[in-house]
Amino acid sequence: MLKRRDVLALFLILLPWALLVTLWHQRAVNPLIPVPKDNRTGATRRGYRLHESCITENKRNTKATQMKYFHQRPPPWSDTLPTLHVITPTYSRPVQKAELTRLTNTLLHVPNLHWLVVEDSAQKTALVSRLLENTGLNYTHLNVETPENLRTQKKPRNVRIPRGTMQRNLALRWLRENINPNSSHKGVVYFADDDNTYSLELFEEMRWTRKASVWPVAFVGGLRYESPKINSQGKVFGWRTVFDPRRPFAIDMAGFALNLQLILSKPQAYFKLKGVKGGYQESSLLQDLVTLRDLEPKAANCTKILVWHTRTERPLLVNEGKKGFTSGNVEV
Amino acid sequence: MRMRLKLKTVFVLYFMVSLLGLIYALMQLGQRCDCRDHDMSRDVQISQLRGELQKLQEHIKTSELSKKNDVPKIFVITPTYARLVQKAELTRLSHTFLHVPQLHWIVVEDAPQPTPLVTDFLAASGLTYTHLHKLTPKDRKLQEGDPSWLKPRGAEQRNEGLRWLREMGAAAKGKEAAGLEEAVVYFADDDNTYSLQLFEEMRYTYRVSVWPVGLVGGMKFERPVVEDGKVVRFHTGWRPNRPFPIDMAGFAVSLRLVLTNPQARFDGDAQMGFLESSFLQNLVTMDDLEPKADLCTKVLVWHTRTEKPKMKREDALQKQGLGSDPDVEV
């Protein structure tokens, strides 16, 4: 016959074990959200370093700016949405800060976005560094200077390289060096120039890219829009352009997105630097990665315009004169 | 006695084991568990992700923005007209405005009636808006090939916006009227670039507040010059002797001032560069101007202009009857 004392003893012994078992069982069903740590080592964890560091970065930033304009905060990070790695090459000119500001205002609406800003400069400029810090976005700031002899103006066609090529390649290299292809990190890579206009719908269309997705782009090739040609099976079979539609990929930089795994699995694929004819830059990368059959048409089977190739006028600073009428201390 | 001894050792034993287990579990907290054995079918996964996306998008729309009800409203008047880049301009402008709490966008089309493009766009934008239209009379309108500075643009449309505001102000009662007491009116062209900080600077305007504007007047920026907290003159490279040598994007007016001065409007026949003055000189003196943006030392708005896209191939195709599908809205 069990005494009360024994029953009590038995109960007290079993209680913590029961708690432990339930705890373990909980973990098996719902993985615990990892607590961000500063010193992370080990290749397997590298894939998460990205978004974890970004989460802490976001938290820090939002606290700092919370006093004034907390509405700037990007949407909360989701553990299940694929990450959009948006690569933006940029260079210093009067409208640079304006362009980056309005691009920021668009990107702040997009969840799970990682912005790779690559400056065409020898060093990271204070303007861009400060701007990126203040946005609250999840970003990576890189820079590489295009050598003078390869810049677009005043050089014969076969020598110069299209603007932004070296910068985009650097971003691709960064992704390859910092994301482990074996991690379960899902991502999509998109090249977004800083003067184009992007709708929010576009980012959601490209998020579900399996290999490579394509869509129409407005105001390119001297047309209202250029778009891929889609057949009745929903596959791309050609390009609706006037300018050289026989290019392997007659598409603008803003008209396609690539699955991150594709980039990581083919580490030799880059934009070609030299010997690229005008309009063939996109093809120089894509032909090493996909064929026409692999392309996934988006934007309602390529019938909607979700991105515009806008260009900003160069401001006429005629009244500045030789010495500069306005104060150099004010950042524009 | 025997029972007690047994208990003691058992207790010590389980205490040690549980302690070790707890330490182990705490260490595990920092690691990611290997959960690759979630064998869901692809479709289920996709639908789950889409659902998650929906949730996030809804979160964006109903986030703190709606909670912040106690700040003064900003009425933004944007004149717009149909051209190729119109939808693009309005799109990126709306992305900026979506971040600003208590913003009411008044879009005034230069058209005889509201166009489907703008109507559909505004309906999908997620913003609080009013859609108006006012056609510029032919003699005041810029013709094809005219340089942009020949005639002032948008005067009729801005006046229409002011008219609507005055109508609304007169009809407002009680709580609504109280809410409008501190509201602010800003004229935002659809091709400029606005930082989010700008709207917070202008929100608390008693009469007329001013700040620098970048990339305008042929200079990196134009600005009011502030001494002892007051505007004493304007730093501009072009005709500084205007009553208010300031760009449309460089000032905001309190709604109260607009409502108490029903005759104040933009003069469509004004000389080039005098459009702003034609409105402001009836409302305020330079002395009363409130300098913002760190006493007018920071550039928070840029007078960017968008290039007209080259359509030579499109035009050539149109001549052959092979133009792009006009049903596709650009």
3-state helix, strand, coil in chain B (%, to 5): 40, 15, 40
The one-character DSSP state at A210 is S
Tell me how crowded residue A37 is: count the other CB atoms within 10 A of its CB: 14
Binary contact (B299, A331; C-beta < 8 A):
yes
Q: Answer yes or no: do B328 and A225 touch at CB < 8 A.
A: yes
Among A67-71, A292-296, A303-307, B83-87, which is the least confidently predicted range? A67-71
Nearest CA of chain B to the CA of A22: how many Å?
Answer: 12
Which residue type occupies B139? D
What is the model's pLDDT at position A175?
Answer: 96
- Under a CB-based contact definition with an 8 Å cutoff, are residues A283 and A178 in contact? no
pLDDT tens, A253-284?
A: 999 999 999 999 999 999 998 888 888 999 99
pLDDT at A317: 78
| Cβ–Cβ below 8 Å for A318 and B299 | no
Read off the pTM: 0.78
Contact A109/B60, CB-based, under 8 Å? Answer: yes
DSSP bridge pairs for B103: B74
Nearest to A34 among B32, B65, B302 (CB): B32
Residues of chain A neighbouring B91 (CB-CB closer than 8 A): 197, 199, 308
| Cα(B130)–Cα(B75) distance, integer angstroms | 10
**Residues contacting B206, CB < 8 A, separation 6+:** B254, B290
Give the nearest partner residue to B220 out of A45, A71, A317, using CB atoms. Answer: A317
Residues of chain A with C-beta less than 8 angstroms from the C-beta of B194: 101-102
**Higher per-residue confidence, A252 vs B25:** A252
Tell me whether residue B42 is annotated as binding.
no
| C-alpha closest to that of A184 among A47, A36, A40 | A47
Closest-CA residue to B89 (of A106, A156, A173, A314): A106
Q: How far apart are the first and last CA of chain B?
A: 91
Size of interface A-B (CB pairs under 8 A): 228
- Strand ordering across the sheet containing B290-291: B128-133, B103-109, B74-80, B184-187, B251-254, B208-210, B290-291
Six-digit token string for A187: 């991502």
CB-CB under 8 Å, A326 with B18:
no
Please state which architecture CATH assigns to domain B64-312.
Alpha-Beta Complex (3.90)
CA distance A162 to A146: 10
Dihedral class, residue B209 (left if φ above 0, else alpha if ψ from -120 to 50, else beta): beta
Q: Say yes or no for a CB contact (<8 Å) between A216 and B328.
A: yes
Nearest CA in chain A to B11: A13
Known catalytic residue at B276: yes
Question: What ipTM goes with this model?
Answer: 0.79
Residue B327 marked as a ligand binder: no
Predicted local distance difference test score (pLDDT) of residue B73: 94
From CA A68, how far away is CA A66, in angstroms rounded?
A: 6
Radius of gyration in angstroms for the set of CA atoms belonging to chain B, rounded to a whole number: 29
- The model's pLDDT over B103-128, given as tens digits with 9 standing for 90+, comes to 999 999 999 999 999 999 999 999 99
> Which are the catalytic amino acids of A?
282
Cβ pair B64:A71 closer than 8 A: yes
Tokens at A176, concatenated? 């390859």
B286 residue type, one letter: M
Query: Which of B89, B160, B222, B276 is labelled catalytic?
Result: B276
Rounded distance between C-alpha atoms, residue A273 and residue B141, angstroms: 48
Q: Min CA distance, A292 vs chain B (Å)?
A: 23
B79 is in an annotated binding site: yes
pLDDT tens track for A159-173: 567 889 999 999 999
- Check A102 against B193: CB less than 8 A apart: yes
Whether A325 and B219 have beta carbons less than 8 Å apart is answered as yes
Q: What is the pLDDT of residues B177-200, one digit of tens each?
A: 888 889 999 999 999 999 999 999
Q: Which residues 66-95 of chain A have a CB within 8 Å of chain B?
A: 68-72, 75-76, 78, 80-81, 94-95
B228 is in an annotated binding site: no
Q: Which long-range contacts (CB under 8 A, 24 or more apart) does B37-46 make?
A: B46/A208
Q: CB-based contact (8 Å) between A16 and chain B?
A: yes
- Look up residue B244 and give its DSSP letter: S
N residues, chain B: 330
- Beta strands A212-214; A217-218: pairing state: unpaired
Which of A75, A98, A184 lies at the smallest CB-CB distance from B302?
A98
Instruction: Give the per-residue pLDDT at A255.
Output: 96
Chain A positions touching B235 (Cβ under 8 A) are 326
d(CA B133, CA A321): 41
pLDDT at residue number A53: 41
pLDDT tens-digit profile of B228-274? Answer: 999 999 998 888 889 999 999 999 999 999 999 999 999 988 888 89
Q: Is A130 part of the contact surface with chain B (CB cutoff 8 Å)?
A: no
Q: What are the b/e assignments for B152-172, b being 16+ CB within 10 Å?
A: bbbbbbbbbbbebbbebbeee
Please provide the average confidence, as pLDDT, over all residues in chain B: 86
What is the C-alpha to C-alpha distance for residues B54 and B68, in angstroms, rounded to an integer? 23
Q: Give residue A42's pLDDT band: very low, low, confident or very high (50, 70, 90).
A: very low
Which tokens sit at A71? 């509405």
Query: Which one of B3, B38, B53 would you mutate to disrupt binding with A, by most A Cβ within 10 Å of its Cβ?
Result: B53
8 A C-beta contact, residue B242 and residue B277: yes
